[in-house]
Amino acid sequence: MPSIPSNKPYRVGRSPTGLGLFATKPIKKGTKIIRYFGPLLDSKKKKDDAIENKYLFELNNRWTIDGSVRKNVARYINHACKPNAESDVKPRKRKVFIRAIKDIEPGEEINYDYGTDYFKAYLKPIGCKCAACEKKRKKQRAEARAERARLKAKAERKALKKAEKLAKEKAKEQAKLKEKTERKSKKKKLKLNGHSLNGKALNGKSPARKSLNGKHLNGNSRVRVAGKKSAGRTPPVSAPPAPALQAQPAAISVEAQPAAI
């Protein structure tokens, strides 16, 4: 690091982007802090126009300051999208000063806006690391995390709702299946018990009557089984009818005798 006189209100120190320039004393708004200097390059000369580095400060279309020299302490000032200083360019004098646009407190890093061209060429590809951009990125990361958490919670609620719906449908199907099984079981039971023990059918139809010892269970006339005689007592044998008597002429037991004279 270059040596800086003690009377100067700044020092070179470590910053999030590498090295930076920090205030060592209070710097009031409008104060010229430091001069940006180095060899002047003439764009009309090929050798000057061929020089390329990130410390080139363009004064106008022709003249450019090559600030890569080590004695140029101003080259340690970093870019900021919301700076506390600015570059005061004087093309005719071919000089550039860095001036405070805010009150700067001791220990605060000094920074200024490098301009659109430099930002696009050097900072945008790697991402600006100034405090404002870091704060913006931090906010974006927090918003992204919140959005992911919101989407996750939404997905979990959706999944829970779907699971509850499936559980209800499954319970409903199980209830229907149970009811169907009970109906089948009841129907089967009724089919097996189709005849009542007391002569009455459970299904409302008259039971088939069966005879016992040739008589109905209810005492009515007996029914014979086809091809067989009914069991039980032997039926009485009918006596043959008595032969009819033929009419005979009356017998004359005493022959007619002539009357005695």
Instruction: Quote the tokens at residue 74.
Output: 């101003």
Tokens 């002569």 found at: 199
Instruction: Quote the tokens at residue 5.
Output: 């006189």
pLDDT of res. 248? 52
Higher pLDDT, 164 or 203: 164
Q: Which residues pair with 94 in a beta bridge?
A: none
For 56-86, the pLDDT digits (tens) are 999 999 999 999 998 999 999 999 999 999 9
Rounded to whole angstroms, how far apart are CA atoms 217 and 147? 87
DSSP type of residue 212: E
pTM over 0.85: no
Q: How many percent of the chain have pLDDT more than 90?
A: 46
Per the prediction, the chain carries an average pLDDT of 80
Rounded to whole angstroms, how far apart are CA atoms 160 and 247? 119
End-to-end CA distance of the chain: 217
pLDDT of res. 71? 92
Higher pLDDT, 126 or 256: 126
Lowest mean pLDDT among 9-18, 103-112, 167-176, 248-257: 248-257
